[in-house]
Amino acid sequence: MPPKPCLVSVGDSWLTAGRYMLGIDEVIVCDDIPTLWLGLGKLFAAYYNFNISYPLEVTGLLEFIQRCFVGINPDRGSKIRWWCTSKSPVSY
């Protein structure tokens, strides 16, 4: 399990699972989430309430879901840490 918040499905597929669990820092903190939508809400609440930055691999997707579906819209900025990405200058 990753150190960042994650949603774990219990079943064959994450779409048809009968139960979900929320893990934070490699520890299951909520183990009886009945629906995917409730699980996603708890996942975003964990990122937002604990002020945890999104993983770089899925930042765009999570920010889109956060702004368009969950309705959490920061006035400025984002949860990505731009100073961690390298931008090399373009030479001609």
For residue 23, the model assigns a pLDDT of 94
Residue 80 lies in a domain: yes
Residue 91 lies in a domain: no
Record the pTM: 0.68
Instruction: Report the b/e string of 58-74 with b at 16+ CB within 10 A.
Output: ebeebbeebeeebeeee
Domain count, the chain: 1
Residue 89 lies in a domain: no
Residue 34 lies in a domain: yes
For residue 84, the model assigns a pLDDT of 47
User: Containing domain of residue 52, as a range?
Assistant: 6-84
Residue 52 lies in a domain: yes
For residue 91, the model assigns a pLDDT of 55
pLDDT in tens, 31-55: 999 998 899 889 888 988 888 888 8
Which residues in the chain come in under a pLDDT of 50? 83-84
Residue 92 lies in a domain: no
For 47, 64, 89, the CA distances from 59, given in Å and listed in that order, are 12, 8, 23
